[in-house]
Amino acid sequence: MIKIFKTFGGYIEIPQIEKGCWINVNQPTPEEIQRIQKEFHLPPDMVQDILDPDERSRVEFEDDWSLVLMRIPVETGNNGVPFQTIPLGIFFTQDFTLTLCLQDNEILPIEQPSPFREQYREITDTINFILRLFLRSGSIYLRYLKQINQMTALIEQDLEKSVKNKELNKLLKMEKCLVYFITSIKANEIVLAKLRNSKKITTEINEDLLDDAIIENKQALEMSQIYSDIQSGMMDAFASVISNNLNVVMKQLTIISIILMIPTLISSMFGMNVPNSMENSQWAFPSIVIASVLMSVIGVIFLTKKRIH
């Protein structure tokens, strides 16, 4: 979908591009991809890079145009992985600014006019707009990290009494999300450093905004690394817990087998076709049953005192 706004605030939607406009493109169809290449003069290889889910963050400054590629977090349900990261491209010239992403996201949701409509200060230039995107991206990273932490806490409760690998696989997918986040946040950190070293930031407002974005990005990186370290140790610990739980179950089954073996052994001995002086006794069967029960009780008491179970 393609939406064209008169300014970065997204207050007024217009049908055609004009100087200073902002074009937001999410989940483009093949026809829309051809349109942005022809009408907005985006190089085809650049469009392919932005729409590549594995593309790294980077900055390109040319004479006629510039490109800032950042990685943003999105929700996903693929293979049980709740979150992943995808590239968001900001292509800007002297006439317009275009944001392109391969799917809808919370950074620049296509169904909303703009996430910056309620901002007190008006967005006046492209660099200010880009820095606000980095700042918003860092905030959403932090929010998703808190959700991952909550999901992990629920998985922990199930893991404490589990003997299967299902919960451990869920924990592994949480770790996979954190790896995505750490890699993407580090790449965004490099982009922010390049923006600081460039000559594009000329106002005090943008300098303050850049500092805020760097702090937010660094906080998200530190939280991701902490959660990743905790989950790595947790996976090792709970792998041992699952093994111990399974050992307890097997031990209990072994105890039951030993107890059941006692009456089976006694009945087998008296069930043989050999004389045992009890063939004609009316108390033969009750005596064997009572002896089997007594021996089983003695075995249970013995194993209880030995604390084998």
* Percent of the chain surpassing pLDDT 90: 13
pLDDT band at 184; cut points 50, 70, 90: very high
> Does the structure show a pLDDT above 60 at 309?
no
Cα–Cα distance measured from residue 228 to residue 241, given in angstroms and rounded to the nearest whole number: 20
pLDDT for the residue numbered 307: 58
DSSP-derived pairing of the beta strands 21-26 and 2-5: antiparallel
Q: Which of 150-164, 201-215, 225-239 has the lowest mean pLDDT?
A: 150-164
**Chain segment 14-25, per-residue pLDDT in tens:** 888 888 888 888
**Chain segment 292-306, per-residue pLDDT in tens:** 788 778 877 777 776
Cα–Cα distance measured from residue 25 to residue 35, given in angstroms and rounded to the nearest whole number: 11
Which amino acid is it at 192? L
Q: Do residues 42 and 2 touch, judged by C-beta distance below 8 A?
A: no
pLDDT band at 278; cut points 50, 70, 90: low
Domain ranges of the chain: 2-244, 246-305
The three-class DSSP label of residue 5 is strand
| Number of residues assigned to the chain | 309
Question: What pTM did the predictor assign?
Answer: 0.75
Per-residue exposure over 128-147, b if at least 16 CB sit within 10 Å of its own CB, e if not: bbbbbbbbbbbebbbebbee
> Does the structure show a pLDDT above 70 at 165?
no
pLDDT for the residue numbered 36: 87
- Residues 193-220, mean pLDDT to the nearest whole number: 86
DSSP-derived pairing of the beta strands 21-26 and 58-61: unpaired
> Does the structure show a pLDDT above 60 at 28?
yes
pLDDT for the residue numbered 219: 92
Q: Do residues 241 and 160 touch, judged by C-beta distance below 8 A?
A: yes
pLDDT for the residue numbered 308: 47
pLDDT band at 201; cut points 50, 70, 90: confident
pLDDT for the residue numbered 115: 62
CATH number of this structure's domain 246-305, picked from the four choices 1.10.3470, 3.90.1690, 2.60.120, 1.20.58? 1.20.58
The label of the residue with tokens 């296509």 reads: 110
Cα–Cα distance measured from residue 283 to residue 287, given in angstroms and rounded to the nearest whole number: 6
Q: Which of 38-47, 194-203, 251-260, 268-277 has the lowest mean pLDDT?
A: 268-277
Q: Which CATH superfamily is domain 2-244 in?
A: CorA soluble domain-like (3.30.460.20)
**Chain segment 34-79, per-residue pLDDT in tens:** 888 888 888 888 888 888 888 888 888 887 888 899 999 998 877 7
- Pair of tokens at residue 273: 């076709």
Q: Do residues 223 and 139 touch, judged by C-beta distance below 8 A?
A: no
DSSP string, 118-183: T-SSPP-SHHHHHHHHHHHHHHHHHHHHHHHHHHHHHHHHHHTT--SSHHHHHHHHHHHHHHHHHH
Cα–Cα distance measured from residue 250 to residue 160, given in angstroms and rounded to the nearest whole number: 17
Distance between start and end Cα atoms, the chain: 65
> Does the structure show a pLDDT above 50 at 167?
yes
The three-class DSSP label of residue 92 is strand
**Chain segment 122-137, per-residue pLDDT in tens:** 677 888 888 888 988 9
Cα 60 to Cα 86, 123, 270, 273, distances in angstroms: 18, 22, 91, 95
- Residues 182-197, mean pLDDT to the nearest whole number: 90
- Residues 215-220, mean pLDDT to the nearest whole number: 92
pLDDT for the residue numbered 273: 63
Other C-beta atoms closer than 10 Å to the C-beta of 104 total 15
Cα 251 to Cα 99, 238, 255, 308, distances in angstroms: 61, 19, 6, 8
Which amino acid is it at 138? G
Helices (H), the chain: 30-38, 44-50, 126-159, 166-197, 204-270, 284-305
- Pair of tokens at residue 43: 């190089």
